[in-house]
Structure 1
Amino acid sequence: MKFIPEEGKHLHEDCSTLILPAVSIGNVGQLTADLLVSSMGSEKVGYLDDPYVLPCVGNDAYGPFPQGDLALPLEAYDPPSNGLTVIQQRSPVIKGMMLEFAKNMADFIAGSGKKHIIILSSLDFGKWQKVDMSSGLQIYYLSSANSNGADENCEQLGWKKLQEYDPSQKHWKYLNDLAEGNATPEDTTSIEDELEEENYYASLPFAALFSFLKAKGLKVTCLLCYCSEGDNTSDAFQLADAACNF
């Protein structure tokens, strides 16, 4: 993965926190990234080139009228005042290449000097086992602060740990071993074909990104919400509000 800066610009070293969407159902993570970029008045400082992301191009992602400012698959934005860098991903990863993409992204972020990575993503509402809508949208989290994924600060904010995360379960353990370079070819052959069928959560892009970033020694927090396809604007607003707690 290569970072190409805009002319005269660079990633600000004083922005220690980076926000990164993981493409999933309803595109809530990407909607949230767009909301944060537009509301914070962030400026594009460059784009990322990776062979595992499908190419796409758009015109003026944030301007009210098209001015010919091209929008690319992976772009980096820095705000003028606070410490939140945002990487926006506008197209999916090539099928079967998510682990390679996660490794490349982790290598880039680790070398950029960022200390805390916030991954934004969504989960299929149909997979929700214990539905509780009494308090509105529930934010779930997964953190590298403890080996079991728990984080006291997240709990104090009223978020719930993703109960489906079990680092000893073979699919999560496989991701961890792979990220740390401990997976054997036999592990890869036996796990990859059954990953999506047997463990929905470990098969999602956020899980790969979490595992590879955590293996780099970075602090990683995943913010997650359940949703369906459709208009998920309200979900994006609540996820953005959650991200602004950091």
Structure 2
Amino acid sequence: MFVPCGESVPDLTGFTLLMPAVSVGNVGQLAMDLIISTLDMFYSLPSRKLVALQLRSIFIKYKARPFCEKLLSWVKSSNCSRVIVLSSSHSSHCNDLQLRSTPFRYLLTPSMQKGVLNKIKSLNWEEMEKSPCIPQMNDSELCIRIPGGGITKALYDESCSKEIQMAILLKFVSEGDNIPDALGLVGYLNEWLQIIKPCSEDPTASALPWKLPSSWRLLFGSGLPPALF
């Protein structure tokens, strides 16, 4: 369940809520780590009108949808202007067209489209395609499917019904060392929000000064004990 801290609801009018979905490769969570570390955020950054929510664990069975409902009710009561969810999806489920194109996709709720669609189009981003609701059945009705996306689709559907402005940004990935995927996803987000600027004035420089969290030093464990050798 989502249980907000404190008894009073914060006033987040004009703020953008950034949050991950617990999804394949933990890419959304790693991307949020980068944003929180780089901007030195604890919870919110009023100067940028940003508020961050980090998630760490998967959901108990049958609790994911109630979580989404409570979270989005809190979003409405706190007057957040919009929500951006960072997520991922299994690359093994990509169709031929998706495999030949960029691995990044976006998805906007109807209420979000009104304000940002022109900006998104100017970036030449690709919208998440619809696919058969029943895989392997080409004559099945088409719908949005995000295999490996965790609560991503539930958040999107609930936001559509509640008329919440939400954008889903995701990357097609496989399990493994997903740090490069996370760096790619925050770079994708940064094309839109311009959270940070390039290190160099050189227009050909592509590196962005994302600050790697200190906790990542043990992301894959502390290594083999020397005593083993």
Q: Which TM-score applies when normalising by structure 2?
A: 0.68
Distance 1:132 1:218, change over 3 A: closer
Flag the 1:146–1:106 CA change in 2: closer, same or farther, 3 A: closer
Q: State whether structure 2 residue 107 is matched by structure 1 residue 142.
A: yes
CA–CA distance in 1 between the matches of 2:163 and 2:93?
30
Q: Secondary structure of the residue that 1:151 maps to in structure 2?
A: helix
CA contact (8 A) 1:42 1:80 kept: no
Residue aligning to 1:124:
90
Query: Where does structure 1 lack aligned partners over 5 or more consecutive residues?
Result: 44-76, 173-198
CA 165–3 in structure 1, closer or farther in 2 if over 3 Å, else same: farther
Q: Distance in 2 between matches of 1:140 and 1:95?
A: 28
Change (3 A) 1:219 1:208: same
SS at match of 1:224: strand
Aligned partner letter, 1:3: P
Q: Write the distance in 1 (CA, Å) between the matches of 2:112 and 2:74.
A: 24
Cα distance in 1 for residues equivalent to 2:77 and 2:162: 10
Give the corresponding residue for 1:213.
159
Give yes or no for contact 2:93–2:147 (8 Å, CA) kept in 1.
no
Identity %: 27
Give the superposition deviation at 1:27: 0.4
Cα RMSD (Å): 3.3
Pair member with larger Rg: 2
Q: Is 1:115–2:81 an aligned residue pair?
A: yes
* SS class of match (1:120): strand
Mark the CA change 1:36 to 1:222 in structure 2 (over 3 Å): closer, same or farther.
same
Is 1:19 aligned with 2:6? no
Once superposed, which parts of structure 1, at least 4 consecutive aligned residues long, lie more than 6 Å away? 146-150
Shift, 1:119, TM fit = 0.8
Give the total of aligned pairs. Answer: 182
| Alpha-carbon distance in structure 2 between the residues aligned to 1:170 and 1:138 | 21
Which one has a larger percent strand, Structure 1 or Structure 2? 1
Quote the offset at 1:131 in angstroms: 5.5
Describe the superposition over 1:126-157 as per-residue Cα deviations: whole angstroms up to 9, x where unpaired.
0011266777x532000014799993432321
In 2 relative to 1, CA 220–200 (structure 1 residues): closer, same or farther, beyond 3 Å?
A: closer
**Shift of the alpha carbon at 1:2?**
2.6
Instruction: Give me the whole-angstrom Cα distance separating, in 2, the residues matched to 1:170 and 1:158.
Output: 24
Change (3 A) 1:27 1:202: closer
CA contact (8 A) 2:68 2:155 kept: yes
Q: CA deviation at 1:34?
A: 0.7
Do the aligned residues in 2 keep the contact of 1:118 with 1:223 (CA within 8 Å)? yes
